[in-house]
Amino acid sequence: MKQKIKKTRVIIVGGGITGIAAALYLAQQGVDFILIEKHKGTSVYPRARTIDVRTMELFRGLGLNEDLREGGKALAPAWGILHGTNLLETLQDPISIANKLTPQQLIAAQNEMKELAEKSPESLCRCTQDISEAIMYDAALKQDADLRFNHQMLSFEQDESEVKILVQNRNTGEKYMITADYMIAADGANSIVRNQLSIPVSGNGPGTNLLNIYFEADLESLVKGREFSQFLVETTEITGFLLTINNKNKWAFHLRFYPENGESIADYPEEKIIMILRQILGIPDLKISILTVMPWKLTVNIASRLHAGRIFLAGDAAHTMTPYAGKGANTGIQDVQNLAWKLSAVLKKHAGETLLDTYNTERQPIGSYYATLSGELANRNGLINDALMVTKGKDLMGVPNYGYDSSAVLRRADLPFAYFTGEPGTRVPHLWLDEAKTVSSLDWIKGQFVLIANTGNEWHAECNEVLQKLDISIRLVTLDEENILKKWALLTNTNVGEALLIRPDDFVAAKLTSGGLLAALQSILR
């Protein structure tokens, strides 16, 4: 029987949070794709719990920011880290509660943090991964995305013109081939794609082994008004950390265990785990239901490159990190938002393939930084170093205080970045456009090229020239309102007749004077 062959422009391997984000951003760009995921559905485990500021900006561009805040409202009060030997005593200790430092307190206490928080229209959001993935999945389905769950990649190969993967439908056993121009490998920390491509990895992970114990117990009345994010336990008998999942009946305890000394998951039967949980919670007769127990290791693996031929690594496949920086899912989502518009530009013949090289140039250092930081935040026993977390607070918020220096940006490489000023290579500055503070300058972008011009009718003619010669539609924003123009000119240090060209990923591509738009785009997209 002849094998079925399906064709698309991009194959996404992996339907976790990074893979579904890739689907959303390719859909935004109007690029045809097929997503393959071996599991039957989205995550049933809470996993990532924090959506950082930059990722919330990205979800704002998709119209999902408020859905995610609503989805995470039960977890929303859970901030701050507690230390103790049992939760009951710790929550009854006013000194422990007073010393619980939350991001809000940190921002209020440090002028630098407060100023940074004001650079974005968004703020940190609490929402567990099982909820956020489901929201994203539903949004993708509403756009008729081809999401094939319970379909597993069996093998893949690539040549100079295409990528081929052999897929098995796990529902029916049927095997079929998909061919595409490009592949996004979002297949997780143990990426089959990365391993088969023989891409080297490095990292500073502590290698600590833990048991992830996901359980149900009614603690709502105990924690109400005293909510926390993590409760750290470090005694001679028990080392681990308790995570809040919904502030009511769902929790996760990550218990230090020792396979290096011959221990295995079999050494922790349910009755033993319940005894440990009752001990660290401080309630001997508490009813507890164990949902799952999974071993895992605090790992940092940083791929040396994210691009091999027609295949691109993203998310955990590109940079596996510990959960302590809160950046794993966030960095993966930001990866694919950066990549999607570049794939679109190449597939639509707007750009040469050199543009795709900038994905590695721009994103590999960011992933490497956060992954390395996540390893530094783990102490010798695998618990989070909350003192160091405070000193690294401005990086953990996720306000994009970093820049891109690549051929997709026109800037002087010898100059240091000046963030939030409209400098090429940095995220477009945020400016509230209404008194109610509901509309931001970031809302101009939403996945398209935008030219923000202080004044001047000549920009209309230049945008029309680009459309005629390059077939690229650019949204022109002309700042005619005097109040907004004055604020924007001051914020970006731009003069009358100047303009900022913004890439579809919200980053400034160039600062232009009249007559320079066509040449700038041709340089960026070469």
pLDDT confidence of residue 4: 76
Burial class (CB in 10 A: 0-12, 13-18, 19+), 405: middle
Question: 364 with 288, same domain?
Answer: no
The domain of 333 spans 4-71+129-202+301-396
**Strand partners of residue 7:** 179
pLDDT confidence of residue 1: 40
Question: 215 with 247, same domain?
Answer: yes
Question: 428 with 318, same domain?
Answer: no
Last residue of a domain, one of 274, 297, 320: 297
Question: Domain with 325 in it: what CATH number?
Answer: 3.50.50.60
pLDDT confidence of residue 306: 98
Question: 311 with 290, same domain?
Answer: no
Last residue of a domain, one of 297, 317, 335: 297
Question: Domain with 111 in it: what CATH number?
Answer: 3.30.9.10
Question: 250 with 291, same domain?
Answer: yes
pLDDT confidence of residue 2: 52
Please state, in angstroms and rounded to a whole number, the distance separating the CA atoms of residues 489 and 495.
6
Question: Domain with 407 in it: what CATH number?
Answer: 3.40.30.120
Question: 230 with 152, same domain?
Answer: no
Low-confidence ranges of the chain (pLDDT < 50): 1
Last residue of a domain, one of 236, 267, 297: 297
Cα Rg for the chain, rounded, in angstroms? 24
Element (DSSP H or E) covering residue 379: none
pTM, full prediction: 0.96
Please state, in angstroms and rounded to a whole number, the distance separating the CA atoms of residues 294 and 257.
12
Tokens of residue 426, six digits: 């940095």
Question: 111 with 237, same domain?
Answer: yes
Question: 384 with 412, same domain?
Answer: no
**Structural domain total, the chain:** 3
Question: 278 with 309, same domain?
Answer: no
Question: 372 with 507, same domain?
Answer: no
Please state, in angstroms and rounded to a whole number, the distance separating the CA atoms of residues 104 and 225.
16
Residue matched to tokens 């679109």 = 344
pLDDT confidence of residue 238: 97
Question: 122 with 133, same domain?
Answer: no
* Residues 347-387 pLDDT 10s: 999 999 999 999 999 999 999 999 999 999 998 888 999 88
Question: 341 with 455, same domain?
Answer: no
Element (DSSP H or E) covering residue 35: strand 33-37
pLDDT confidence of residue 92: 93
